[in-house]
């Protein structure tokens, strides 16, 4: 009956790409993303300048920042951006590496698909290869270090920051990163935990990067509420409040009818009385510092100042929580409930001038695990890139402290894996071994790109490196020295990285490459036309 009548399953206008055309389009899009960031890889990599739709500029070398800022449309390209984000969350560093690797894996797969190797065979081969690579990383390449070995921690931080725009100040910054992380290390049972979210990073442009400091305490980006308040309070007893010290304004318009002048006075006295009571409560608790998340009425500030109490208002909730942890204070919701038991303690609370602004420094806190880093730098773009580099370094240092395993950088780890996987491939057998070989070849993109970005002949560098990793005198630590392009022991150059960064980069690169390879059909629904400005269309596009 139905013969000759086309059955429409998909809505009209739906686009469809199948089989080879689907995978070709996916692979091309993912490779385009990988190519875009490849030139930033390594200490000699170039930076990117990104301009958003508002005209704001970001200058960075950080893979994940670049990919977050650019507006990609192709679904496969978006998946690659996700890889960068995962890598960033897990390790802080290695985002460019993960994306470049994924792109290279796809490039090699394309060649295999052309030779009629089925994508499922390729994905299986990649899976086998990555498992072996992880085993090699753990057993043969990773080097155990002591978490207390400061030199190693500093080297890892320097390597992580070496590829960023902060190159000139990386020694000072590496030291700051290591000192900061070591302050927040905790031992819980058998595990060592270094949660870098506990480190508060503030930035102010002005001065130079060399003025960046580690502060033993918490910095709040606010000045004191009244000029008559003391600039500094020693032996601070701190109250934290998350509600306003104001008389609430009614939401609906209200009227007070007053019949004689005495009533006005009564009304004002009543208000004043309430304000005084608030200040009395603060004073009675014994607090000499008040940190408030919401507003404080000018009259209240005036009375607080009269009583010599240091108060700051409109403080961020996250800062209040950090202060609670640092000083041992409890956050109070209603001022009426404040008692001496809620107060926290710090040696000093002081307003200091940083550049043009005043900030509040809470130092000498009860909890020694509270530190902040105050970043300085010539312009906002500089302080932003310093912050990104420091975040990488902080996470890298914390990975080394938590795991205690590092590996050589400069492409040494990737080359060594490639050499060993090539030997391993024949033992796999079947067509999968082709994919294992392709995987090995793909790993070499890292030293290749490092050399290329350094202005060296990548082919020569690769030949030298392979030579150094094979034969009786093989040395697994040899990578490319970007000062002269020679194959050099990376431990001698002190270019080392946490193993966690490599492990995660490999596994996420393979995951996304495999996911893209398994797709044989792209069904995209028709784009709805953009709704007219001010139109009633309920969708955001
Ligand atoms: N002095 C050095 N000599 C040789 N290679 C280096 C040196 N410093 C860093 N590298 C290498 O540079 C690579 C890291 O480059 P880069 O920091 O640009 O990318 P990423 O860490 O993958 O991504 P991102 O830092 O953007 O998240 C690593 O392979 C590292 O071993
Ligand atoms: Mg890096």
Pocket residues: Cβ below 6 A from ligand 1:
40-43, 45, 61-64, 93-97, 159, 162-163, 392, 409-410, 446, 450, 479-480, 482, 495, 497
Does pTM surpass 0.95? no
> What tens digit of pLDDT does each residue of 270-279 get?
888 888 999 9
CB 180 within 8 A of CB 219: no
Cα of 53 vs centre of ligand 1, distance in Å, is: 30
Bridging pattern class, strands 289-292 and 200-205: unpaired
Q: For this structure, is 62 an active site residue?
A: yes
- Give the residue, out of 97, 154, 508, with the most ligand 1 atoms within 8 A of its beta carbon, to mutate for a pocket test: 97
Mean pLDDT of 9-37: 78
- Give the residue, out of 48, 90, 162, with the most ligand 1 atoms within 8 A of its beta carbon, to mutate for a pocket test: 162
Point out the catalytic residue in the list 60, 62, 319, 488: 62
- The closest-lying atom of ligand 1 relative to the alpha carbon of residue 37 is 26
Point out the catalytic residue in the list 40, 58, 60, 95: 95
> Residue 225: what pLDDT?
93
87-123 b/e (C-beta count within 10 Å ≥ 16 → b): bbebbbbbbbbbbbbbbbbbbbbbebbeeebebebbb
pLDDT > 70? residue 537: no
**CA distance linking residue 228 with residue 337, whole number of Å:** 27
SS3 (DSSP) at 206: strand
Residue 437, H or E segment: helix 432-443
The residue that leads in pLDDT, 4 or 96, is: 96
- The closest-lying atom of ligand 1 relative to the alpha carbon of residue 409 is 31
Question: Whose atoms come closest to the Cα of 42: which ligand?
Answer: 1
Residue 217 pairs in a beta bridge with: 363
> Residue 541: what pLDDT?
40
Mean pLDDT comparison of 158-167, 248-257, 347-356, highest-scoring range:
347-356
Q: For this structure, is 392 an active site residue?
A: yes
- The closest-lying atom of ligand 1 relative to the alpha carbon of residue 87 is 27
pLDDT > 90? residue 346: yes
Position 510 confidence tier, pLDDT thresholds 50, 70, 90:
very high
Q: For this structure, is 95 an active site residue?
A: yes
pLDDT > 70? residue 526: no
pLDDT > 60? residue 91: yes
- The closest-lying atom of ligand 1 relative to the alpha carbon of residue 88 is 27
Token readout for 319 is 């800062």
> Residue 78: what pLDDT?
84
Cα of 164 vs centre of ligand 2, distance in Å, is: 8
Secondary structure string (H, E, C) spanning 361-418: EEEEECCCCCCEEEEEECCHHHHHHHHHHHHHHHHHHHHHHHHCEEEECCCHHHHHHH
The least confident of 71-80, 190-199, 478-487 is 71-80
- The closest-lying atom of ligand 1 relative to the alpha carbon of residue 41 is 18
CB within 8 Å of 186: residues ≥ 6 apart = 192, 193, 194, 195, 369
- Give the residue, out of 89, 177, 387, 450, with the most ligand 1 atoms within 8 A of its beta carbon, to mutate for a pocket test: 450
Position 53 confidence tier, pLDDT thresholds 50, 70, 90:
confident
* Number of Cβ within a 10 Å radius of residue 46: 9
pLDDT > 70? residue 216: yes
442-464 b/e (C-beta count within 10 Å ≥ 16 → b): bbbbbbbbbbbbbebebeebbeb
**CA distance linking residue 143 with residue 407, whole number of Å:** 6
The least confident of 255-259, 315-319, 422-426, 439-443 is 255-259
Cα of 533 vs centre of ligand 2, distance in Å, is: 43
Cα of 296 vs centre of ligand 1, distance in Å, is: 49
CA-to-CA separations, 196 to 155, 392, 468, in angstroms, rounded = 18, 10, 38
CB 403 within 8 A of CB 242: no
> Residue 169 gets which letter from DSSP?
G
Position 536 confidence tier, pLDDT thresholds 50, 70, 90:
very low
Q: Which residue has the tokens 């005198």?
A: 473
CB 342 within 8 A of CB 329: yes
> Residue 81 gets which letter from DSSP?
H
For atom 17 of ligand 1, the residue with the nearest CA is 163
> Residue 529: what pLDDT?
62
Dihedral, CA of residue 373, residue 379, residue 385 and residue 391, to nearest 10: 10
Longest Cα–Cα distance in the chain:
105
pLDDT > 50? residue 47: yes
> Residue 540: what pLDDT?
44
Residue 348, H or E segment: strand 344-354
Position 535 confidence tier, pLDDT thresholds 50, 70, 90:
very low
> What tens digit of pLDDT does each residue of 318-337 get?
999 989 989 999 999 988 89
pLDDT > 90? residue 511: yes
Position 36 confidence tier, pLDDT thresholds 50, 70, 90:
confident
What's the mean per-residue pLDDT of the chain?
88
Secondary structure string (H, E, C) spanning 279-344: HHHHHHHCCCEEEECCCECHHHHHHHHHCCCEEECCCCHHHHHHHHHHHCCCEECCHHHCCHHHCE
The percentage of the chain sitting over the pLDDT mark of 90, rounded to a whole number, equals: 56
């Amino acid at each position: 009956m139905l013969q000759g009548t086309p059955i429409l399953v998909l809505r009209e206008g739906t686009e469809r790409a199948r089989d080879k055309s689907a995978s070709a389009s996916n692979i091309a899009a993912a490779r385009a993303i990988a190519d875009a960031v490849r030139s930033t890889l390594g200490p000699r990599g170039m930076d990117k300048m990104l301009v958003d739709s508002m005209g704001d500029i970001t200058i960075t070398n950080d893979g994940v920042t670049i990919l977050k800022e650019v507006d990609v449309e192709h679904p496969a390209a978006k998946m690659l951006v996700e890889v960068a984000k995962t890598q960033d969350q897990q390790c802080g560093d290695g985002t460019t590496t993960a994306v470049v690797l994924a792109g290279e894996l796809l490039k090699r797969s394309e060649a295999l698909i052309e030779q009629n190797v089925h994508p499922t065979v390729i994905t299986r081969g990649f899976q086998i290869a990555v498992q072996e690579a992880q085993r090699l990383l753990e057993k043969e390449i990773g080097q155990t270090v002591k978490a207390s070995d400061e030199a190693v921690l500093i080297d890892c931080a320097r390597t992580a920051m070496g590829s960023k725009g902060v190159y000139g100040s990386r020694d000072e910054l590496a030291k700051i990163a290591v000192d900061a992380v070591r302050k927040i290390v905790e031992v819980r049972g058998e595990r060592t935990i270094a949660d870098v979210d506990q480190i508060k990073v503030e930035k102010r442009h002005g001065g130079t990067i060399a003025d960046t400091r580690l502060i033993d305490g918490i910095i709040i980006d606010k000045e004191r509420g009244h000029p008559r308040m003391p600039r500094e309070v020693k032996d601070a007893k701190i109250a934290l409040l998350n509600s306003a010290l104001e008389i609430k304004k009614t939401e609906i318009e209200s009227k007070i009818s007053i019949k004689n002048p005495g009533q006005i006075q009564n009304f004002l006295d009543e208000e004043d009385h309430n304000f005084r009571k608030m200040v009395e409560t603060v004073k009675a608790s014994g607090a000499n510092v008040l940190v408030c998340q919401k507003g404080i009425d000018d009259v209240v500030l005036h009375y607080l100042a009269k009583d010599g109490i240091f108060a700051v208002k409109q403080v961020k909730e996250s800062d209040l929580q950090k202060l609670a942890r640092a000083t041992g204070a409890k956050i109070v919701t209603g001022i009426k409930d404040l008692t001496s038991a809620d107060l926290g303690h710090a040696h000093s609370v002081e307003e200091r001038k940083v550049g043009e602004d005043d900030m509040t420094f809470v130092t000498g806190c009860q909890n020694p695990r509270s530190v902040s880093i105050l970043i300085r730098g010539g312009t906002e773009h500089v302080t932003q890139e310093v912050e990104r580099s420091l975040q990488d370094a902080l996470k890298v240092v914390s990975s080394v402290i938590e795991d205690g395993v590092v590996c050589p950088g400069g492409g040494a780890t990737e080359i060594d894996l490639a050499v060993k996987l090539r030997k391993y491939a024949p033992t796999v057998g079947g067509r999968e071994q082709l994919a294992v070989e392709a995987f090995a070849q793909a790993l070499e993109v890292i030293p290749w790109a490092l050399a290329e970005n350094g202005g060296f002949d990548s082919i020569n560098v690769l030949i030298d490196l392979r030579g150094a990793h094979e034969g009786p005198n093989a040395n697994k630590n040899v990578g490319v020295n970007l000062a002269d392009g020679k194959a050099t022991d990376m431990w001698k150059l002190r270019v080392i990285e946490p193993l966690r960064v490599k492990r995660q980069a490999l596994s996420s690169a393979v995951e996304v490459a495999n996911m893209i390879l398994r797709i044989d059909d792209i069904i995209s629904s028709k784009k709805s036309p953009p709704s007219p400005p001010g139109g009633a269309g309920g969708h955001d596009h």
